Amino acid sequence: MDNRDDIREFLASRRARITPEQAGLPDFGGSRRVAGLRRAEVAMLAGVSPDYYTRLERGNLSGVSDSVLDALSRALRLDEAERSHLYDLARAASQPRSRRRPGGKQQVRPATQHLLDAMTDAPAFVRNGRLDVLAANRLARALYSYAFETTPVNLARFCFLDPRAEQLYPGWDEAANTTVALLRTEAGRDPYDRALTDLVGELATRSDEFRTRWGAHNVRLHQTGVKYFQHPVVGYLELGFEAMPMPADPGLTLTAYSAEPGTAAADALRLLSSWAVTVAGSEESAARAPGQH
């Protein structure tokens, strides 16, 4: 991934979505050759010269001060996720250019797996920024049973390359948008992660849906909310989620789901837990059976 290209396309896409009226600028009529604001208009709103803003939008954020980034964020009406992304892009641009990093294999600590296993009533898993699932409890494996049929488990590959994702996610478009936004956010943090670059290249080559969304340069925070599932065994589930960064393991996030007590989703989650225990017991019995290898 080229950081300068990402900067240029991100700033241009944010500029294109804002009309002069939304920015509080006078409309003198006549046709405009560009969608949204002109570069000179962004420069005026941000309090910088047109030449300086043009330099920024060409991908040169190296050494840009926080005050300028804040002014750009206000001028372009960036939300919290977009503002953080802009800062990530600037930080990466200011670092010495390096060759693509291989992205060493990540593992969870045994204590983390013990914590997941202790969460018997809530599906929970640990992922990295590329959406690789590094550890999960039994209930999460049951909830994402389709995704866990392939290893290593990657939720982005599952979303775009496994047709069953559209069955598991009733609102597949929203799930797809979130998936790409999370990968785009991670790419802003570390544009030289070779594993991420390879993943994006694979998905862009194999999925038109991914490629279109990737080109939109949308980012978002994904810390709490509601997710919907249509599970093949227990049916429809409406689950709240919390996604919590793990300070002791930088780059890893623990995600846990829960159902509102007394709801159909809570009943379905209990049924899913029972099914998961039954499946695990059957697998253990099969593994112990004579003649099994």
Are residue 148 and residue 56 in the same domain, yes or no?
no
Report the DSSP beta bridge partners of residue 240.
Answer: 226, 258
Are residue 64 and residue 120 in the same domain, yes or no?
no
Report the DSSP beta bridge partners of residue 127.
Answer: 133, 253
> Which pTM value belongs to this model?
0.89
Q: Is 99 a member of any domain?
A: no
Render each residue's pLDDT in the chain as its tens digit; 293 residues. 468 999 999 999 999 999 888 888 876 556 677 779 999 999 999 999 999 999 999 999 999 999 999 999 999 999 999 999 999 999 999 887 655 455 556 789 999 999 999 999 999 999 999 999 999 999 999 999 999 998 899 999 999 999 999 999 999 999 999 999 999 999 999 888 999 999 999 999 999 999 999 999 999 988 999 999 999 999 999 999 999 999 999 999 999 999 999 999 999 999 999 999 887 766 665 556 665 54
Are residue 278 and residue 205 in the same domain, yes or no?
yes
CA-wise closest residue to 160 among 201, 220, 114: 201
Side-by-side strand order, sheet with 224-231? 133-136, 124-127, 253-258, 235-245, 224-231
Are residue 234 and residue 261 in the same domain, yes or no?
yes
Q: Is 65 a member of any domain?
A: yes
Q: For the chain, what is the radius of gyration of the CA atoms? A: 22
Q: Is 227 a member of any domain?
A: yes
Alpha helices in the chain (DSSP H): 3-16, 39-46, 50-57, 66-75, 80-94, 110-118, 138-143, 155-161, 165-168, 172-189, 194-206, 208-214, 264-288
Q: Is 63 a member of any domain?
A: yes
Are residue 166 and residue 254 in the same domain, yes or no?
yes
Q: Is 175 a member of any domain?
A: yes
Separation of CA 8 from chain center: 21
Q: Is 293 a member of any domain?
A: no
Are residue 153 and residue 274 in the same domain, yes or no?
yes
Are residue 141 and residue 216 in the same domain, yes or no?
yes
Q: Are 61 and 7 in contact (CB under 8 A)?
A: yes
Structural domain ending residue among the three candidates 66, 94, 122? 94
Q: In total, how many domains does the chain have?
A: 2
Q: Is 103 a member of any domain?
A: no
Are residue 9 and residue 76 in the same domain, yes or no?
yes
Report the DSSP beta bridge partners of residue 256.
Answer: 124, 242
Q: What per-residue confidence (pLDDT) applies to 286?
A: 56
Could you list the residue range(s) of the whole structural domain that residue 194 is in? 110-288
Are residue 81 and residue 138 in the same domain, yes or no?
no
CATH code assigned at 255: 3.30.450.180
Are residue 181 and residue 85 in the same domain, yes or no?
no
Among positive and negative, which fits the CA dihedral 163, 169, 174, 175?
negative
Are residue 14 and residue 82 in the same domain, yes or no?
yes
